Amino acid sequence: MSLSKFVLLGAVSLLFSGCASIAGSSKTILTDDRIKSETSAALGYAAEDLTLVSRRTEGLNTYASLKAKDGKEFTCMINGGNWLSMGLTNPPVCSRKGEPLKNAAPFQG
């Protein structure tokens, strides 16, 4: 392997390892209020009618459990909202609690 190929391979490896650490800091951009605001349109509720029960971030995706004032519970996935995506998100993908998420279109990193 030539030196230039080795250097290029090393640079690409550093880039991908940096993506993972940057993606993991999405909590700094995707606030709890923004999660409620973005998921409310997908769920057909006003943001103030939703309670964020829990959230977790895995790579570029944030998974949120929400409960509406009428007692219905939902799971939503928001792709993006971190430094790597410049704060931009894809529309949230939501389903009733216990049902699988469908039609997810994640950013490609």
> Which CATH number characterizes residue 90's domain?
3.10.450
Task: Assign 9 to helix, strand or coil.
Answer: helix
- Chain segment 13-56, per-residue pLDDT in tens: 444 444 545 444 444 588 999 999 999 999 999 999 999 999 99
Is 106 within the bounds of a domain? no
Is 86 within the bounds of a domain? yes
Is 107 within the bounds of a domain? no
- For residue 27, give its domain range: 3-96
Q: b/e per residue, 15-51, with b = 16+ CB within 10 A?
A: eeeebeeebeebeebbeeebbbebbbeebebeeeebe
Contact 65, 53 (CB under 8 A): yes
Whole-angstrom CA distances from 12 to 8, 47, 51, 87 are 6, 41, 41, 23
Is 7 within the bounds of a domain? yes
The domain total for the chain is 1
Is 69 within the bounds of a domain? yes
Is 83 within the bounds of a domain? yes
85: its two tokens? 């995506």
Is 25 within the bounds of a domain? yes
- Chain segment 45-85, per-residue pLDDT in tens: 999 999 999 999 888 899 999 999 999 999 999 998 888 78
